[in-house]
Chain A
């Protein structure tokens, strides 16, 4: 069974940084993209960034470029999302998902397995 299990909720102060994890199992971690998606309270889904663990290729939404960093540890099949210098407006739930995508061939089978979400609350 394919599973993505995210780390627990975080409470941070403005200006602090946070790193959340997405532990995967049940599939070839190196061969699939991991995507990170933000959902602010009561709002919609936003694509933030993606990483392909096979070669550590990364893609970032222009809206989040420079603010967030995605990484992966192939030895423990875990992806990470790091946000530096948090603001109160960054309070949201962050999801990781497996994205069955082959960029060079323009094949996209969708984000078929999702983590449970990690809520980050930023408050002074």
Chain B
């Protein structure tokens, strides 16, 4: 099972919107609406920000939103803020044998 493909870096100015893509295959992203997104600051544990493609856990800002089309999921951060500068990872359920596959990760820089 190969890692899901994400852009290495995405940048934007404060207030702008950015979108991070997460491309998998018909065996993972394309087969299940079970994509999650995680935010990670340097030296810290990841934090769940989106589950089941579009759902935000309690306490997560509505500036984060998710979507999916075919084998590609996306995370959009609107109204970009300095605190959004972090690494972001997608993951997908991939069946009863491969419970999870992560994306390659994207570093978000706020200009």
Contact = CB atoms under 8 A, between A and B. Distances in A.
Contacts of A114: 45-47
Contacts of B9: none
* Interface SS of chain A: strand
Interface in A84-121: 95, 97, 99, 101, 103-104, 106-112, 114-117
Interface residues of B, number: 28
* Interface SS of chain B: loop
A61 B94 CA distance: 11
Interface residues on A, range: 20 to 34
Interface of A: 33, 35, 37, 44-47, 50, 59, 61-62, 95, 97, 99, 101, 103-104, 106-112, 114-117
Given A45-B40, A59-B97, 17 more contacts: A35-B99, A37-B102, A44-B105, A45-B91, A46-B3, A47-B101, A97-B46, A99-B99, A99-B100, A104-B96, A110-B36, A110-B48, A110-B51, A111-B38, A111-B46, A111-B48, A115-B45
